[in-house]
Amino acid sequence: MKVTVDVITSGDISTAILTKAGCENVSSIIIGSRGRGLVKGLLLGSVSADILRHGKTHLLIFRHSLARELDGAVFSRFCPGIFTRVLFPTDFSEPAQKALSSIKDIEGLGEVHILHVVTKGETHKDIESNVQEATKKLEEIKTDLTGAGLPVKIHIRLGRPPDEIISLADAEDISLILMNSHGKGLLTELLVGSTTLGVSIHTNRPLMVIRTPGKPRN
């Protein structure tokens, strides 16, 4: 393993990290999440937030408070076994499908939880129809992943995606939330969707953001 050390003495930290990542053509960035802000409930520091918003490589965000308190069984779950219980939320979009395809390539992957949050439906009939359609798609994903030898559980929830993702992660004692980065925003400089950003700000679980190529813009 080759290790290099760079010391930043001035300038913007997030810019320096992103510049170095580009120069070295790194495959991923690993960073802590705790900043110096005093706003309760906002668990993402400004440097981590900038890298999440503007970075172009995979990003693993690890909670500072979790790393500090790891011990015994907790350490064995979140460090060597960070991929033992992975939650992947999907909206069935093309970026989500591309990110999902990378799951099979992760070594040491354990149990996979696939979640879709239904957000649309004006009537009970509409909601039921959307749930049925989502269930069918989730079953297809499950069949694909189990065919690759992975144990898979599927989940459907109704509500606001960031809230439901965080809630399920806590309920299932998830060791890592794995999400794609792209949203449906129109600003090219914002390379992360609102759901991914919302989860990153409020979850206390490790979060890996997978960057996938977006569609060319006209």
- Which tens digits make up the pLDDT trace of 107-126? 888 899 999 999 988 889 99
- pLDDT given at position 136: 97
pLDDT in tens, 61-84: 886 554 445 444 544 444 557 889
DSSP string, 73-96: HHHHHHTTTTTSEEEEE----HHH
Contact in structure between 138 and 116 (CB atoms under 8 Å): yes
Alpha carbon distances (Å) from 116 to 1, 164, 176, 210: 38, 9, 17, 17
Flag whether pLDDT at 215 surpasses 70: no
Percentage, residues of the chain above pLDDT 90: 34
Could you read off the pLDDT of 163-207 as tens digits, one per residue?
999 999 999 999 999 998 865 444 434 456 788 888 988 888 999
What global pTM score does this model have?
0.81
d(CA 196, CA 193): 5
CB-based contacts of 208, cutoff 8 Å, min separation 6: 58, 59, 60, 61, 176, 177, 178, 179
> β-pairing, 207-210 with 58-62?
antiparallel
Section 94-115 average pLDDT? 87
Q: Is the pLDDT confidence value at 157 over 60?
A: yes
Place of tokens 């989860």: 199
Under the banding of pLDDT at 50, 70 and 90, the label for residue 1 is: low
Q: Does domain 13-210 have CATH number 3.40.50.620?
A: yes
Instruction: Give the C-alpha separation, 127 to 149, whole Å.
Output: 32
